[in-house]
Amino acid sequence: MAATAQSGRELIAVGPLEILPDEHLVRVRGRALMLSIRELRLLTELARREDRIMSREELFRLVWGREMRRGDRSVDVYVRKLRVKLEVALPRWRFIHTHFGFGYRLSAEEQDERVANAGFTTG
């Protein structure tokens, strides 16, 4: 959900994430999350269109500023990097959802601990 902070700068809140694109900053519960510029741009574009499925081609145009070449997997690579960083920062949350054959969608979903640990054993 995009909003404007009192300073007039864009603030996008998605679950426990706060994205401040003008400041090149993402905060998780008040703490800065270190992202590359591409990761930040990808997260920002997805967050600006929260709950909307975006094609890989559309994301590439918005983040890289040009048309995607056939066979280019850059979007997938950066989605994977972003997922890892978000999962480390917020292990019980899922943000980027894959819609096979369509693209990606950003939606903050807190996972039940039993679901988050399904298939894993401790020991």
Confidence at residue 7, expressed as pLDDT on a 0 to 100 scale: 63
53-to-9, 29, 108, 113 alpha-carbon distances in Å = 26, 26, 14, 26
pLDDT at 115 over 60: no
Q: Is 83 exposed, middle or buried (0-12, 13-18, 19+ CB in 10 A)?
A: middle
pLDDT digits (tens, 9 = 90+) for 33-72: 999 999 999 999 999 999 999 999 999 999 999 999 999 9
What band does 120 get if pLDDT is binned at 50, 70 and 90? Answer: very low
pTM of the model: 0.85
| Chosen CATH of 2-116 out of 3.50.50.60, 1.20.1250.20, 1.10.10.10, 1.10.3720.10 | 1.10.10.10
Handedness of CA 24, 30, 32, 35 (dihedral sign): negative
Instruction: Sketch the domain layout of the chain as residue ranges.
Output: 2-116
Comparing 23 with 119, the larger pLDDT belongs to 23
Average pLDDT, the chain: 89
